[in-house]
């Protein structure tokens, strides 16, 4: 029988059924799979891309482990290289800064310039030179904007996060969902058409055949009016290429590629956003301008990104980052967890938020600030590291902690890592100067009986006795009501987790 998906993914990944056939089916690269004809076209396109990319290998870097299983389509690490587009070598001149006036021109919305940011005392300038603010300020303006709409749409959780970051300036300098030209430029070159670096595409997806360029639509979250969008174009994206370039693989064993294949609609639409109201969330999300107003003047701000509860090792990691020689003497840490959609097996955002709040109260560290980001994770490894650095730049951060296997993920079939432990760090070091954010490599800390937390190298050199507790064992102990060692987790965090999961 057949199994129709929520929307037709035929241009991208096929539906398939496992049958009782013994031996290989000629049209399929694996036994016992019956695949539609469109899959052959898809296979040919990806194989062509792989052959072409291999003609221009990147300089040697740590090898990325890519899963090999049913429907796996292996992409080389060169898929991350913005210096290669569609298999063609691209000169470095292609990435020289271009005219950014198109992105800086105001359409009547408030923009924070570099000079205004300096007046506030914040050391870091916004990405692209101006901090976008697309929010209408008065009820009259909002009513007039709504009156222009001819229809309304409910936003998905991921779209809601994107809309919020567009209208509050978290995605500065863009002022709407990307049109086809911008989408292709970001996918293939990791930059806007203006030449400004941008990690991942920000797209509005739909299956609607009725939506057309020129339509003005009211975007809602339940009964709450969030924004209006004036669509500028509609196109069918090249999803296999998008995944190869952005995730380094097109296999649906990767959670980001799976999201693109099964959650996103057939079409992408570019559109200009006008902000009406911020979403109502369980966790408060300050705008970039609001966070900047709280930061100390002319001071290094080190961002720490996480999507899980903070345990002892994490806390030691981001507080010790302030001792890094790359960070100024009076620097502060901005702990900035993402609380939007992430991997299916991650702890829900509202529970994570509660753990952060109790930890903030327990530690009372004057050099640590806590804010929350409405961002949906892609698990895109190196490319997502650039996206996170760019966003935190808009929030006023000068430095960014790059952890081991940041934004990494494992194959849902084999459990193998898609990225090497230091791929994101190396990628951030390579592109950090152009982005204007200094990456701070995270320390590889271990807990020892003799000296507490030290680096792994120091523990080995001194012959110290390490204590370890795996995440799997921690979850088992949590569910079983066993005592969690305080060297591993904070009591307040453990208490919240036991009450909520």
Q: What pLDDT score does 501 carry?
A: 77
**pLDDT digit string, tens, across residues 429-474:** 999 999 999 999 888 899 999 999 999 999 999 999 999 998 889 8
**pLDDT digit string, tens, across residues 382-409:** 999 999 999 999 999 999 999 888 888 8
Is residue 226 a contact partner of residue 208, using CB atoms and an 8 Å limit? no
Please, where are the H alpha helices in 321-364?
A: 349-363
* Range of weakest confidence among 46-50, 111-115, 475-479, 485-489: 46-50
Q: What is the mean pLDDT of residues 121-149?
A: 96
* Range of weakest confidence among 44-53, 211-220, 423-432: 44-53
Angle, vertex CA 263, rays to CA 220 and CA 199, nearest 5: 85
Q: What pLDDT score does 215 carry?
A: 98
Torsion of CA 391, 392, 395, 399, to 10 degrees: -150
Query: Beta partners for 466?
Result: 448
| DSSP codes, 153-206 | EEPPHHHHHHHHHHHHTTTTT--EE--HHHHHHHHHHSB-TTS-B-SS---EEE
**pLDDT digit string, tens, across residues 27-36:** 333 333 334 4
**pLDDT digit string, tens, across residues 294-331:** 999 999 999 999 888 999 999 999 999 999 999 999 99
For the sheet with 466-467, list strands across it.
452-455, 445-448, 466-467
Query: Beta partners for 151?
Result: 217
Going by pLDDT thresholds of 50, 70 and 90, the confidence category of residue 160 is very high
Can you say whether residue 66 is alpha, beta or left, with left for phi > 0 and alpha for psi between -120 and 50 degrees?
A: beta
pLDDT for residue 344 is more than 70: no
* Range of weakest confidence among 57-66, 198-207, 395-404: 57-66
pLDDT for residue 367 is more than 50: yes
Q: What is the mean pLDDT of residues 78-82?
A: 38
* Range of weakest confidence among 97-106, 164-173, 307-316, 321-330: 97-106
d(CA 481, CA 499): 11
d(CA 358, CA 399): 26
Q: How far is CA 230 from the centre of its chain?
A: 25
Instruction: Write the CA distances from 461 to 316, 454, 467, integer angstroms.
Output: 20, 11, 16
**pLDDT digit string, tens, across residues 34-53:** 344 343 444 444 444 444 43
pLDDT for residue 101 is more than 90: no
Buried b vs exposed e over 111-129: b needs ≥16 C-beta within 10 Å? bbeeebbeeeebbbbbbbb
Q: What pLDDT score does 113 carry?
A: 53
pLDDT for residue 2 is more than 90: no
Q: What is the mean pLDDT of residues 185-194?
A: 98
Query: Beta partners for 234?
Result: 269
Q: What is the mean pLDDT of the chain?
A: 81
Q: What is the mean pLDDT of residues 414-420?
A: 92
Going by pLDDT thresholds of 50, 70 and 90, the confidence category of residue 174 is very high
Q: Is the peptide bond before 173 cis (omega within 30 degrees of 0)?
A: yes
Instruction: Write the CA distances from 352 to 113, 476, 478, integer angstroms.
Output: 34, 18, 15
d(CA 295, CA 280): 24
Q: What is the mean pLDDT of residues 404-431?
A: 91
Percent of the chain with pLDDT over 70: 75
Greater confidence (403 vs 223) lies with 223
Q: Please provide the size of the chain in residues.
A: 501
Candidate ranges 10-19, 342-351, 390-399; pick with highest mean pLDDT: 390-399
Q: What pLDDT score does 122 carry?
A: 83
Is residue 199 a contact partner of residue 387, using CB atoms and an 8 Å limit? yes
pLDDT for residue 94 is more than 70: no
Percent of the chain with pLDDT over 90: 65
pTM for this structure? Answer: 0.77
Dihedral pair phi/psi, residue 140, rounded to 5°: -65, -45
Give 382-404 as a 3 state SS string. Answer: HHHHHHHHHHHHHCCCCEEEECC
Q: What pLDDT score does 42 carry?
A: 42
> 3-class SS at 227?
strand
Cα atoms in the 13 Å half-sphere on the side-chain side of 369: 21
Greater confidence (236 vs 91) lies with 236
Greater confidence (25 vs 408) lies with 408
């Amino acid at each position: 029988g057949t199994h129709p998906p929520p929307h037709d993914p035929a241009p991208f990944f096929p539906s398939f059924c496992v049958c009782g056939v013994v031996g290989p089916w000629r049209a399929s690269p694996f036994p016992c799979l019956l695949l539609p004809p469109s899959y052959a076209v898809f296979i040919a396109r990806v194989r062509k891309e792989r052959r072409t990319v291999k003609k221009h290998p990147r300089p040697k870097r740590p090898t990325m482990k890519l899963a090999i299983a049913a429907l796996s389509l292996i992409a080389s690490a060169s898929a991350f290289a913005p210096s290669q587009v569609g298999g063609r070598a691209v000169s470095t001149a292609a990435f020289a800064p271009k005219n950014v006036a198109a992105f800086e021109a105001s359409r009547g919305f408030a923009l924070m310039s570099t000079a205004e940011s300096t007046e506030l005392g914040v050391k870091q300038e916004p990405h692209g030179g101006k901090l976008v603010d697309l929010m209408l300020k008065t009820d009259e303006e909002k009513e007039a904007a709504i009156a222009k709409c001819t229809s309304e749409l409910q936003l998905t959780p991921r779209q809601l996060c994107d809309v919020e970051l567009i209208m509050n300036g978290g995605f500065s300098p863009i002022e709407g969902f990307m049109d086809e030209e911008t989408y292709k430029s970001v996918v293939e070159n990791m930059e806007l058409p203006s030449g400004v670096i941008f990690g991942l595409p920000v797209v509005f997806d739909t299956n609607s055949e009725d939506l057309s360029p020129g339509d003005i639509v009211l975007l809602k979250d339940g009964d709450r009016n969030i924004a209006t969008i004036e669509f500028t174009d509609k196109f069918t994206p090249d999803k296999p290429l998008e995944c190869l370039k952005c995730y380094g693989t097109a296999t649906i064993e990767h959670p980001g590629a799976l999201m693109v294949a099964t959650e996103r609609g057939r079409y992408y639409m570019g559109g200009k956003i006008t902000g009406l109201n911020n979403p109502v969330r369980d966790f408060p999300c300050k705008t970039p301008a609001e966070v900047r107003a709280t930061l100390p003047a002319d001071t290094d701000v080190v961002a720490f990104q996480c999507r899980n509860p903070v345990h002892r090792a994490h806390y030691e990691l981001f507080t010790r980052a302030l001792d890094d020689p790359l960070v100024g003497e009076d620097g502060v840490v901005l702990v900035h967890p993402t609380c939007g959609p992430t991997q299916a097996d991650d702890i829900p955002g509202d529970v994570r938020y509660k753990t952060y709040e109790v930890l903030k109260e327990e530690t009372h560290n004057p050099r640590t600030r806590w804010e929350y980001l409405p961002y949906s994770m892609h698990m895109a490894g190196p490319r997502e590291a650039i996206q996170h650095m760019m966003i935190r730049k808009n929030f006023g951060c000068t430095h960014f902690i790059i952890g081991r296997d940041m934004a990494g993920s494992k194959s849902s079939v084999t459990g193998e890592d898609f990225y090497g432990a230091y791929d994101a760090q190396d990628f951030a070091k390579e592109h950090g100067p152009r982005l204007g954010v200094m990456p701070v490599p995270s320390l590889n800390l271990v807990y020892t009986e003799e000296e507490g937390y030290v680096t792994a190298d120091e523990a080995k050199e001194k012959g110290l006795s390490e204590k370890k507790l795996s995440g799997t064992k921690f979850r088992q102990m949590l569910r079983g009501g066993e005592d969690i060692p305080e060297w591993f987790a904070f009591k307040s965090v453990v208490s919240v987790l036991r009450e909520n999961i």
